[in-house]
Structure 1
Amino acid sequence: MASGGSSRMGYMLISVVVVLVVLATTHTWNPWPKLWSWFNTSQPIAAGVARWQSTIGGSPQSVTIAGDAVIVEYRTSIEAYGLTAGVQLWKSDADWASVAGDGSDAVVVTGRLLTKGYQVLDPRSGIVRRADTEASAVWTYRTGILDLRCGKGSDCELTAWDTRGNVRWRISTGGIGFVLDAANPDLPDTNPMTANGIDDDVAGPRQMPALLGLPNDGKVRIIDTASGRLVQTAEPTAGQRVAVAGGRVLTVTATAGDGTCYFGVVATDPPRAGTVWSRDGLNLRTASNGSGCKQDRDPAGGEDVVLGVDPVGRQELIAAHDGRVLWHGAKGEEVQAVNDSYAVVRNADKTTLRGLSLARGSTTWTRTISSGGSAALTPDAVVIVTTKPGRIAAVSPSSGKLLAEVRTNAKIFATGPAGMIAVDGRDMAYLPFA
């Protein structure tokens, strides 16, 4: 009997679906949009806190605040929303997008994969301000744009632009080849630290570094970005890795012995000869565990600060410019986030975060967190995420003043001077700072 009842119920459901399909296809009545709308009803990301919440076109690759617009990048398109009310401003097809500049000077740089050239768009209107048809790679910074174009024979040229479209300088780099393409290809510099529940690019575009390293076939061509000069071609040997930070070229040497890796760091200031500073026993964590001392990643840190580990396993922050120890941690303390001005450190029992002013060398604030909490540093705020229950807080990097706090499981994608962008599924919300 139970089996027969189940069969009749199945036939009835099939009949209902068939009737609905017929009604929809004959334009008599189409229930699907209302049904989909019912299933897709949005829940508030931060009720009572968010200034606005909008439904976006899908899962974003990145979200960046550009002046008074919010730029949302998808796999094959980009959208812009107004920061004031969350209303869509424009939409465009593109395989990648990145923001350069800051505030009213911000622009959106877009392009296609496997296609030379790019466009520079106005964030508010989407109007093309400048178009290029030759560049293969583009780097976007808070203080400008760099592009690389290579002609026949791999003879390449690097050009620096301001965000208004003026050329600052142009230099021949020699043969770089076509290994660098699209937006912000990886360079031998420092990697920003990441955190769970926070997008890797939450801080927005970085400052253009004083020195830039262009990798090519085991060599690194060092460019002075102020003058537009090729100042050195570094050639690391086996067991060495080059990273450019703080206007210095750091050569990290890893040597295997006694079942472990021995590290040394030498900093130089091209084109000058000689060593600016050096440290034996400083591990910048450029080799992965179990890699046999093979260095396969860049140091973590800011533009001028690198995170290292001393010979007894305690973390320390080093000024890449002159080698000063800015902070030396106690046993078990871990740096959660760092930039050139501040650091966020978690204590050994993982219950407290504290903010450090690297200029003063002192603690400026402390905050209790639950286990599993993580943090990211941006120019405008320290974003702190905890789980069970999900909670997001933003505090001032200098004082620890609470800027915003909300219970949500949304992911923070971007911060600006006055608030941050949270995304949950296809919903995006703006959480203003107090």
Structure 2
Amino acid sequence: MASGGSAWRGYALTIIVVLVVLATTHVFNPWPKVWAWINTSGPIAEGASQWQQTIGGSPQSVTIVNDAVLVEYRTSVEAYGLGAAVKLWGSDADWAAVAGEGSDAVVVTGRLLKHGYQVVDPRSGAVRRADTEASAVWTYRTGILDLRCGKGGDCELTSWDTRGNTRWRVSTGGIGFVLDAANPDLPDTNPLTSGGIDDDVAGPRPMPALVGLPDDGKVRVIDTATGKLVQTAQPGSGQRVAVAGGRVLTVTATAADGTCYFGVVATDPPGGGTVWQRDGLNLRTAGNGSSCKQDRDPAGGEDVVLGVDPVGRQELIAAHDGRVLWHGAKGEEVVAVNDSFAVVRGADKGTLRGLSLANGRTTWSRAAGANASAALTPYAVIIATTKPDRVVALSPSTGRLMAEVRTSAKIFATGPGGMIAVDGRDMAYLPFA
């Protein structure tokens, strides 16, 4: 038996050597077909996808841009047609982001460690506008902001529409060394994250009324309507500043009695007058423990922030005026929120329900296990479950079923007509009903 096994191993080694020689001498190369066979996978959502396409690798992000699909990798960018997944163009850019919506949408691309960016047509890849000086770019549904700094250290923030028209420019001081590439983090609010759904599934959000630029411990606050520097906020010891809902939120955390005590004050620049304040409101800017170090921004939308009251019950607050939009019962948990709706997991952990923040009413309710995750987009509520693997899309306002598919793929993007799912190197378009 041993000699027989050795003989078969010898035959196999000889065959491999022969194939390598044939491939290197360009006589016959079987490896592309072999790897294609190895990489061939089954359908992402059998019977539910409009198309499925093998892409160039594991994507960093995927975005539906009008009638195109933008796929960003670590060192390149590709675009495919939304109708049939025909490859439209490719670029060796290191990063890409989408600004605008509908027919006004554009793709912004750039290189790491290099100033400047390009604004390109999402369907043709043609360059509409090129910049050679900006160090950081922020892309929104309603426009583009870029930051450029001179040799003396002074920086300038510029607002653009997606057609390349300048709206305003404002001097911000010397802050550019900490901000680069696409959409660097600002002191604002962060969306809640969900397993099985990409963090950026909702696409670009509207440009906020105020943006805060970090500057060596301070925050320079810019009014995006007028293009004016309206405040330079200087948080004190134990404080953190976040800009949301057109207000500057100063969160104070105090360590005492082995725990943290929180307070929030919302002010209105440029006068800085207090609009609202709450003692005991925890915006979850600090981790667990008694150190009270605030190292994260509040969760929420542009004008809605998620907090916890002194007895541990979650609540949603309007940042611009401090109104309590929803106060949860014991054990209820917000799993997704934007400025219009929230998705709440019941205390029984077996149901999800939609909540309209305009009137506080439940818009839909659905059985879902404790492992279900959810995300809110402008077009649908996405719910992903495991065991069984399933993705559901619902209307946020009515709960109408828009899609229900059996898949373990991750949902990366949504558009008016459907969503993009990715599994490994395969991408599929799952249309809404």
Letter in 2 for 1:40: N
Letter in 1 for 2:218: K
Three-state SS of the structure 1 residue aligned to 2:152 is helix
Distance (whole Å) between structure 2 residues aligned to residue 172 and residue 37 of structure 1: 54
Deviation sequence 1:34-61 (CA, Å, 0-9, x none): 2222212231111111111111110000
Distance (whole Å) between structure 2 residues aligned to residue 28 and residue 232 of structure 1: 70
Distance (whole Å) between structure 2 residues aligned to residue 28 and residue 242 of structure 1: 66
State the 1:4 CA deviation.
2.2
State the 1:178 CA deviation.
1.1
> What pairs up with 1:230-379 in 2 under 5 angstroms?
230-290=229-289, 292-379=291-378
Q: Percent identity?
A: 80
Q: Which residue of 1 aligns with 2:95?
A: 96
> What pairs up with 1:201-216 in 2 under 5 angstroms?
201-216=200-215
State the 1:345 CA deviation.
0.1
Distance (whole Å) between structure 1 residues aligned to residue 404 and residue 36 of structure 2: 30
Three-state SS of the structure 1 residue aligned to 2:177 is coil
Q: Which residue of 2 aligns with 1:123?
A: 122
State the 1:370 CA deviation.
2.1
> What pairs up with 1:393-432 in 2 under 5 angstroms?
393-432=392-431
> What pairs up with 1:208-227 in 2 under 5 angstroms?
208-227=207-226
Is the 2:61–2:72 Cα contact (8 Å) retained in structure 1? yes
1:123 to 1:240, Cα distance in 2 relative to 1, 3 A: same
Q: What is the root-mean-square deviation of aligned Cα atoms in Å?
A: 1.0
Deviation sequence 1:394-425 (CA, Å, 0-9, x none): 10111111111111110000001110000011
Letter in 2 for 1:142: R
Three-state SS of the structure 1 residue aligned to 2:254 is strand
Distance (whole Å) between structure 2 residues aligned to residue 239 and residue 25 of structure 1: 65
State the 1:95 CA deviation.
0.7
Q: Which residue of 2 aligns with 1:178?
A: 177
1:56 to 1:259, Cα distance in 2 relative to 1, 3 A: same
Q: Which residue of 1 aligns with 2:39?
A: 40
1:111 to 1:12, Cα distance in 2 relative to 1, 3 A: same
Deviation sequence 1:341-396 (CA, Å, 0-9, x none): 00000001211000000001110100111231110111111100000121111101
Is the 2:258–2:290 Cα contact (8 Å) retained in structure 1? no
Q: Which residue of 2 aligns with 1:20?
A: 19
Distance (whole Å) between structure 2 residues aligned to residue 49 and residue 249 of structure 1: 46
Distance (whole Å) between structure 1 residues aligned to residue 32 and residue 171 of structure 2: 57
Distance (whole Å) between structure 2 residues aligned to residue 339 and residue 206 of structure 1: 10
Distance (whole Å) between structure 1 residues aligned to residue 303 and residue 330 of structure 2: 24
> What pairs up with 1:96-175 in 2 under 5 angstroms?
96-175=95-174
Distance (whole Å) between structure 2 residues aligned to residue 287 and residue 416 of structure 1: 35
Letter in 1 for 2:128: R
Q: Which residue of 2 aligns with 1:59?
A: 58
State the 1:176 CA deviation.
1.3
Q: Compare 210-219 and 366-375 and name the one that shifted more.
A: 366-375
Letter in 2 for 1:303: E
Is the 2:259–2:289 Cα contact (8 Å) retained in structure 1? no
Is the 2:64–2:414 Cα contact (8 Å) retained in structure 1? yes
- TM normalised by structure 2 equals 0.99
Letter in 1 for 2:80: Y
Is the 2:62–2:413 Cα contact (8 Å) retained in structure 1? yes
Deviation sequence 1:152-186 (CA, Å, 0-9, x none): 22100000000000000001111214111100000
- Structure 1: unaligned runs, 5 residues or longer: none
Q: Which residue of 1 aligns with 2:188?
A: 189
Deviation sequence 1:74-105 (CA, Å, 0-9, x none): 01110000011111000011011000000100
Q: Compare 365-374 and 304-313 and name the one that shifted more.
A: 365-374
Distance (whole Å) between structure 2 residues aligned to residue 257 and residue 422 of structure 1: 47
Corresponding residue pairs, total: 433
Q: Which residue of 1 aligns with 2:77?
A: 78
Distance (whole Å) between structure 2 residues aligned to residue 261 and residue 27 of structure 1: 69
Three-state SS of the structure 1 residue aligned to 2:147 is strand
Deviation sequence 1:293-332 (CA, Å, 0-9, x none): 0100000000000000000000000000100000000000
Distance (whole Å) between structure 2 residues aligned to residue 252 and residue 246 of structure 1: 15
Three-state SS of the structure 1 residue aligned to 2:320 is coil
Is the 2:255–2:290 Cα contact (8 Å) retained in structure 1? no
1:12 to 1:273, Cα distance in 2 relative to 1, 3 A: closer
- Structure 2: unaligned runs, 5 residues or longer: none
Distance (whole Å) between structure 2 residues aligned to residue 390 and residue 357 of structure 1: 28
Letter in 2 for 1:88: K
Three-state SS of the structure 2 residue aligned to 1:24 is helix
Distance (whole Å) between structure 2 residues aligned to residue 27 and residue 229 of structure 1: 64
State the 1:291 CA deviation.
6.4
